[in-house]
């Protein structure tokens, strides 16, 4: 019964969140004021979340929400009129809600995504802003995913929304010639929202897991609204490939399981198939990019589900290309591990230390990769020291326990 209640609540939350973004976007496109739009809708959503789980989700959730928000906005407008400052925005919002009749809400969420990921917004605030304005996550949930205090996150969100209004950041989809420049910001922010949800340190935090799923949903939205953008498809394929492994990422005791040791039978076949189809569609557009390459790496790992082994040669080639494109340390480390698989451990170690190792000395994946390779060579003492360094730098307790186990398993 409690289970059923939870499901009803989750369904209500999901439906509300979908409609939330649509209604916020609809109002913002007209008033440019995210805060005012959210304020106008807040009570309507609070009452939806209070009523829907027990009474069931209405047939037309948006009509229900518009009716509720319109009542609230009219009340607030009347109250403001009696006060000194009759807010122009409030009356505008009440009018907009009055004209928005059932089923006629245009989908302006893509505009809102471009606003949230505008280059004039701090890069690290773009994903949190999307999660709040398009998906309706509260500041506390976002704060916990991004490892920031709720008060700080809430303050930054308020500041970012004020900036949208005060600096005149537009609500529109960039023109063709600007799209190439602006779309990557949107995709990066969606991926950041996904990665923060996914990294979910304990693997048990429902809101973080949900955040990853919501990020995928945003990825679907962008891929649907911009079907000719290869990187939008690439991002969705990447997230789907990664999410397909969610059940295999922890064992029965909740312990971390690295990709190479995961049971491929637990991977989600339907999700992988969908990812592959997206990648093929993207490839046909001849506009290669970072997300397509990363998705292709995941695709080469996914081959293990069918053939028993990952396509390591392809993985090395893909990481070569990614390394040139991004110069990222994560890519360099993963490339070294792939080289160890194809050319042997010595070659892998050489590749790992090819960039200046000092720049990676505080980076956990560098040390765990190093320990892994050294252990494979039988350099036990060095491997043990590298594991210690990795354990000391890791923040996820499950990963820390995994590394400790690896270290303990080294031959004496």
Partner 1 sequence: MEYMLVLFSDPKPLMTMKPAEMEQMAGAYYAFTQALQKEKAFIDSRRLKTAADATTVTQNGGKSKVVNGPYIETKEELAGYYLIDVPDLDAALKWAARCPTAGHGHVEVRPIWPMPG
Q: Residue 178 is inside which H or E element, if any? A: helix 176-199
Tokens for 384, please give them. Answer: 């043990």
d(CA 176, CA 384): 54
Residue 17, token pair as written in the block: 């969140």
With a CB cutoff of 8 Å and minimum separation 6, the contacts of 105 are 22, 23, 26, 62, 66
Give CA 40 to chain center in angstroms: 27
Residue (168 or 308) nearer to partner 1, CB: 168
Instruction: Please choose, out of 3-11, 60-68, 95-103, 163-171, the segment that lies near partner 1 by the rule CB under 8 A.
Output: 163-171
- Tell me how many degrees the CA angle 147-271-200 measures, rounded to the nearest 5: 15
Distance CA 210, CA 331 (A): 27
CB within 8 Å of 171: residues ≥ 6 apart:
25, 28, 29, 32, 108, 111, 112, 114, 115
| Residue among 166 and 228 whose Cβ is closer to partner 1 | 166
Q: How far is the CB of 176 from partner 1 (least distance, A)?
A: 14
Which residue, 125, 85, 94, is CA-closest to 27? Answer: 94
Exposed e or buried b for every residue in 106-145, given b needs 16+ CB within 10 A? eebbbbbbbbbbbeebeeebbbbbbbbbbbbbebebbbbb
Stretch that binds partner 1, among 164-172, 237-245, 278-286, 357-365 (CB under 8 A): 164-172
Select the span of 72-80, 160-168, 221-229, 262-270 touching partner 1 (CB under 8 A).
Answer: 160-168
Residue 36 near partner 1 by CB under 8 A? no
> Which C-beta is closer to partner 1: that of 115 or that of 292?
115
CA distance 406 to 398: 12
Q: Which residue, 32 or 243, is less far from partner 1 as judged by CB?
A: 32
Q: Does position 77 bind partner 1 by CB under 8 A?
A: no
Decide if residue 167 touches partner 1 (CB under 8 A). Answer: yes
Q: Residue 277's Cα: distance from chain center in Å?
A: 21
All residues at 6 or more sequence positions from 108 whose CB lies less than 8 Å from its CB, including other chains = 22, 25, 26, 28, 29, 171
* Minimum distance, C-beta of residue 119 to partner 1, in the bound complex (Å): 8
Cβ 171 to partner 1 shortest distance, Å: 9
The least distance separating partner 1 from the CB of residue 108, rounded to whole angstroms, comes to 15
**Interface map 116-145 toward partner 1 (x if CB under 8 A):** --x-x-------------------------
Q: Rounded to an integer, what distance in angstroms lies between the CA atom of residue 353 and that of residue 59?
A: 59
- Residue 6 or 122: the one with the smaller Cβ distance to partner 1 is 122
Task: Give how far the C-alpha of residue 373 lies from the chain's centroid of Cα atoms, to the nearest Å.
Answer: 31
Provide the minimum distance between the beta carbon of 166 and partner 1 in the complex, in angstroms, as a whole number. Answer: 6
Stretch in the footprint of partner 1 (CB under 8 A) among 92-100, 172-180, 333-341, 360-368: 172-180
Nearer to partner 1 among residue 160 and residue 337 (C-beta): 160
Nearer to partner 1, 80 or 393 (CB): 80
- In whole angstroms, how close is the CB of 85 to partner 1 at the nearest point? 11
Among 3, 59, 84, 166, binds partner 1 (CB under 8 A): 166
Q: Which residues pair with 256 in a beta bridge?
A: 250
Among the residue ranges 165-173, 187-195, 280-288, 360-368, the one whose residues contact partner 1 (CB under 8 A): 165-173
From residue 385 to residue 404, what is the string marking binding to partner 1 with x (rule CB under 8 A)?
Answer: --------------------
Q: Pick between residue 166 and residue 253 the one whose CB is nearest to partner 1.
A: 166
Binding residue for partner 1, selected from 58, 150, 174, 376, defined by CB under 8 A: 174
Query: How many of the chain's residues bind partner 1 (CB under 8 A)?
Result: 10
Q: For residue 144, what are the contacts with CB-CB under 8 A and spacing of at least 6?
A: 150, 205, 207, 208
Among 12, 28, 44, 169, binds partner 1 (CB under 8 A): 169
Binding site for partner 1 (CB under 8 A): 118, 120, 166-170, 172, 174, 178
């Amino acid at each position: 019964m409690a289970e059923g209640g939870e499901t009803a609540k989750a369904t209500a939350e999901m439906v509300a969140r979908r409609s939330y973004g649509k209604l916020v976007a609809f109002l913002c496109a007209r008033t440019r004021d995210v805060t005012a739009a959210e304020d106008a809708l807040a009570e309507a959503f609070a009452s939806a979340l209070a009523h829907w789980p027990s009474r069931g989700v209405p047939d037309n959730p948006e009509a229900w929400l518009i009716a509720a928000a319109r009542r609230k906005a009219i009340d607030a407008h009347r109250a403001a009129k009696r006060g000194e400052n009759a807010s122009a925005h409030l009356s505008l919002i009440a009018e907009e809600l009055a004209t928005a009749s059932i089923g006629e809400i245009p989908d302006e969420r893509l505009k809102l995504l471009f606003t949230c990921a505008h280059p004039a917004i701090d890069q690290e605030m773009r994903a949190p802003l999307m999660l709040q304005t398009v998906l309706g996550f509260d500041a506390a949930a976002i704060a916990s995913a991004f490892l920031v205090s709720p008060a700080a996150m809430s303050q930054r969100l308020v500041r970012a929304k004020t900036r949208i209004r005060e600096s005149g950041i537009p609500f529109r989809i960039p023109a063709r010639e600007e799209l190439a420049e602006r779309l990557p910001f949107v995709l990066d922010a969606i991926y950041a929202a996904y990665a923060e949800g996914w990294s979910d340190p304990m693997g048990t935090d429902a809101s973080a897991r949900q955040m990853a799923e919501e990020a995928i949903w945003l990825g679907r939205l962008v891929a649907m609204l911009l079907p000719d953008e290869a990187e939008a498809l690439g991002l969705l394929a990447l997230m789907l490939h990664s999410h397909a492994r969610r059940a295999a990422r922890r064992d029965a005791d909740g312990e971390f399981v690295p990709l190479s040791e995961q049971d491929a039978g637990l991977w989600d076949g339907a999700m992988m198939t969908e990812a592959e189809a997206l990648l093929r569609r993207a490839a046909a557009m001849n506009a290669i990019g970072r997300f397509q390459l990363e998705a292709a790496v995941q695709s080469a790992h996914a081959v293990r589900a069918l053939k028993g082994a990952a396509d390591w040669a392809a993985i090395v080639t893909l990481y070569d290309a990614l390394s040139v494109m991004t110069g990222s340390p994560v890519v360099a480390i993963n490339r070294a591990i792939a080289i160890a698989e194809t050319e042997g451990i010595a070659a892998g170690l050489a590749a790992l230390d090819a960039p200046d190792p000092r720049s990676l000395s505080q980076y956990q994946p560098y040390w765990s990769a190093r320990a892994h390779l050294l252990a494979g060579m039988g350099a036990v003492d060095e491997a043990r020291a590298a594991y210690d360094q990795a354990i000391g730098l890791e923040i996820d307790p499950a990963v820390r326990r995994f590394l400790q186990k690896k270290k303990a398993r080294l031959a004496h």
